[in-house]
Structure 1
């Protein structure tokens, strides 16, 4: 039998001597097949529609709050918005755990069913056959069921981006998924005042939000067929993520993530608060329901444009930190200008411009902040890192709405002639308020959040560094494979054997 031996062909230097190659064996390098599937856009579409319709259900009552209060009862408009924030707090931890343990598809199905069923119950609450005393409890039940979907939905954009999209499309995928939320706010603020011109037209508002919610539910059920693609799109997507409890501890012990948790949660909370109480801020100074909806719409339109631009920018440059800090600082400046202007009459154009600029700068930071959360905590699951920020945002939303309402004072008698909050002079349900003190407190908190972010947030891009290290390893493995291909095999009997001393016998 002829024994085969592998003899590597080594490169020679200028002196003709062999050059040693110090590299690991190719067998020790993991070979991972990466692939991008078209189905990623279907999954993203389902998440975006759920996010959009759920937000319309949440905020749809606020722009027509005075009519809603007349139909469902005093204070009902505020409670129908607050229930989303309140439900998120106890459901949020379960949603993060379920998204990590049960997978993306299960989370989408839970969100789809609760969002769709809740919208149907709201329609039932406004049917003429329902007695007035049962309207609000039935509507609140449907709203609470739909609110269960919210924490499941809000971590989905970053999860879909990380699991289905390549690194060159992650930020823009997160932007599409996340910005469908404020797009829902835009639609609600434009359409709700146009539909609800009297209390008895609340039924048509509920119907308007129910139909697309049911369509989103059907798409989630029949078109999202799996949680993850067969082959991952990136190296980071192929790596195992931490268990839920371990990931939770990792987030809590990360100083940079805690800063992001406070600041991004505060940003979400303040934005939620502003478009929840937008009408209450503007009507004491004589600005109508339609103008309030228009301002919220400008805020969202600007935000969508800003987020699209920032998402594309950071996908190409990876300047997450710089874009986040600059955008949030500018947003606070324009936000403070807007709040001060709401205290005065006759500033429609400056208020509209400040809303637009606030949206461009503020909402542009939202998807970037969620991506930063994934970067700071990798390999923690996106459901955990994003879910905690959403939970923080909802908790702070409740706090900020409470502050705005609790520190509002009765409107001065000299300003009562210009207010448009009351539907009739005898209306005691919609009482106009002076929001001066509330705005001062709100402005101080916003400034403190920006100071914390700009001065103390110094992130490490763990996910990007892991992917770059993996790419370098793969490149090394390819070089080794090329080296092995330069190896020839010859029979051992043909090899040259060194001469040995021979003993001559005379």
Structure 2
């Protein structure tokens, strides 16, 4: 008995020989670097210090107004939103064209320089008439960093981390933002207990900003690793213009753009006006800071849990819808409670629960943006959502200010907004109409998300498809020969 090896040629669906399987069998080299954590820490620290600088004036707004001038606390917060809108488009383009490292450097230096100018604005030699303009200039320069920073977590997660760590990496990057809010709300009221204490607040935000600038300069030396961590990271991404067209041609992404932008905008608005919501009902600056802190503390745990959960289950859509819906319910209850006196415990509980669910949706939503638009650059898909959030932040702050009415006389003895009885700078307001409009818009956003958002996970599908092709190629490679037993089937001809 003899045997013959016959090589098998792969066939397409029409039975014709093809060579693609051999090409698909080519191994794709993947590697995960320890340096990814340094890059992530640099981005997280930038995010944290920049946001802390942004929000630090709001919890002590009445003292800030007395130091810099009437209405200065609100303007020092709103300038961030106003600067982000024109800078945002450029930041998205630069992040894709110039790479992650350049974006980190721009963010780091703008953040550091802005912090130094704020300190200068509060020094004794600065004339009173120039203080506010100088501080506002520092805030505007630091605000330039914000759009560069906000798209970086998803960019770092997609370029440096494996798919089993992407959501948690995004969570660490984006949650450093509300942690900055937490630090500002806890520390600012304790540092600033008189107008002349504002200088110490500026020093407090300046030192970590300079540390973040140094880490961005010397710790991040590459935009992407030499060898990619995932198959999707090895694929070329769309250029900026093509990416923008792709984003705006996706119905699901547009829904996410509106809803996530609205969520960011509303959260930013609450940061900005927290003291103004609570002080008319007799709640102190310290309590306002505690409420904001509880939101963030709850959000840290909620976002960490949601990040780990979606990394393991990939249930992005379900997690986003559930967390955002319940968060809005708690948020509406919180807003209604701010109109009543003596509800400290319930207000604190609602803040905590709102934070747990509200911030749990944030990193999940940003990851969904990357999934819905792949292979669009994360700088573009995330940047548009951040830009939408800033635009809507301005709208919601305007609504809260525009529809606030004069406080009823019977509440004037309860309010703690004014520093003295004759204080005309910090006028308490009745926010009931503003809260009603705010709550209605929040409910509308949730309804749009639940009814119309049906995403397709393009990035995950691409990675699964590549894995399936590679596995198929390996199977065929093992079975590319069969053996025929020649003398068991073919009989020799008999000679006459």
**TM > 0.5 between the two?**
yes
Deviation at 1:31, TM superposition (A): 2.6
Residue 17 of structure 1 corresponds to which residue in structure 2?
Answer: none
Q: Which residue of 2 aligns with 1:120?
A: 116
Deviation at 1:26, TM superposition (A): 1.5
**CA drift at 1:481:** 3.2
Aligned to 2:413: 417
Report the alpha carbon displacement of residue 27 of structure 1 after superposing the two structures with TM: 3.4
Tell me if the contact between 1:26 and 1:480 (Cα under 8 Å) persists in the aligned partners: no
**Structure 1 stretches of at least 4 aligned residues deviating more than 6 Å after TM superposition:** 20-23, 498-502
2-structure distance, mates of 1:24, 1:101 = 33
From 402, 406, 419, the equivalent of 2:402 is 406
Residue aligning to 1:48: 44
Pair 1:241-2:230 in alignment: no
Q: Where does the alignment leave 5 or more consecutive residues of structure 2 unmatched?
A: 9-15, 484-490
Deviation at 1:478, TM superposition (A): 1.9
2:93 is equivalent to residue 80 of structure 1? no
- Name the structure 1 match of 2:346: 350
Q: Which of 440, 463, 478 is 2:436 aligned to?
A: 440
Matches for 1:265-284 after TM superposition, within 5 Å: 265-284=261-280
The alignment of Structure 1 onto Structure 2 pairs a total of residues equal to 480
1:157-177 CA distance string (max 9 Å, x none): 000000000000000000000
Residue in structure 2 matching 1:388, options 384, 387, 390: 384
Distance 2:451 2:294 in 1: 30
Q: Supply the distance in 2 between the matched residues of 1:210 and 1:500 (Cα, whole angstroms).
A: 97
Change (3 A) 1:39 1:439: same
Aligned position for 1:3: none
The match for 1:492 is none
Which residue, out of 143, 147, 150, partners 2:143?
A: 147
Cα offset for 1:419? Answer: 0.1
| Structure 1 position 21, deviation (Å) | 11
Q: Which has the larger radius of gyration?
A: 1
Cα distance in 2 for residues equivalent to 1:92 and 1:395: 10
1:482, CA displacement in angstroms?
A: 2.7
- Are the counterparts in 1 of residues 111 and 209 from structure 2 also a CA contact under 8 Å? yes
Structure 2: distance between partners of 1:480 and 1:116: 57
The one-character-per-residue Cα deviations of 1:181-206 (angstroms, maximum 9, x if unpaired) are 00000000000000001000101000
Name the structure 2 match of 1:58: 54
Alpha-carbon offset, residue 208 of structure 1: 0.4
Q: 2:358 aligns with which of 355, 358, 362?
A: 362
Does residue 130 (structure 1) correspond to residue 132 (structure 2)? The answer is no
- The 8 Å contact of residues 182 and 296 in structure 2, kept in 1 or not, is answered as yes
Name the CA shift for 1:59/1:26 in 2 (closer, same or farther; >3 Å).
same
Indicate conservation of the 8 Å contact 2:25/2:474, yes or no. Answer: no
**Is it true that 1:97 corresponds to 2:93 in the alignment?**
yes
Q: Report the RMSD for the aligned CA atoms in angstroms.
A: 2.0
Q: 1:501 to 1:354 in 2, by over 3 A?
A: same
Q: CA deviation at 1:23?
A: 8.1
Deviation at 1:9, TM superposition (A): 6.0
